[in-house]
Amino acid sequence: KQEVTQIPAALSVPEGENLVLNCSFTDSAIYNLQWFRQDPGKGLTSLLLIQSSQREQTSGRLNASLDKSSGRSTLYIAASQPGDSATYLCAVRRVGNDMRFGAGTRLTVKP
């Protein structure tokens, strides 16, 4: 069974800092990996999708990398802003197509 772990569980940084969120998974036979953002009381918003054949994806200040062999992905956020405060979830989709989520990293960016 695929296990997805996110470290740290919570992170607080001052505005302007660059930061890295980590995601690890136990089964390297994945179809893709997706990073989401969730604001309190809201649904999940897709940030970046990395297919299993890709190494990284970028969108604006966000960059996500994937290393299947080591079972790891990182989400890099450059020049963090208070509006980036949210919970960030990593999800891994297996070849069998179901998607498993990590518990998330709760990010607070202080002005």
* Interface residues toward another protein, by CB under 8 A: 31-32, 34, 36, 42-46, 49, 51, 89, 91, 93, 96-104
List Cα–Cα distances, 110 to 87, 97, 100, in angstroms: 15, 38, 30
Spatial distance between the Cα atoms of 107 and 59, rounded to a whole number of angstroms: 18
In the bound state with another protein, the residue whose beta carbon lies nearer, of 71 and 104, is 104
User: Quick one: tokens of 15?
Assistant: 């505005």
In the bound state with another protein, the residue whose beta carbon lies nearer, of 18 and 45, is 45
In the bound state with another protein, the residue whose beta carbon lies nearer, of 13 and 28, is 28
Spatial distance between the Cα atoms of 27 and 1, rounded to a whole number of angstroms: 8
Minimum gap (Å) between residue 4 Cβ and another protein: 10
Minimum gap (Å) between residue 18 Cβ and another protein: 26
Backbone angles phi, psi at 67, to 5 degrees: -125, 95
Minimum gap (Å) between residue 44 Cβ and another protein: 4
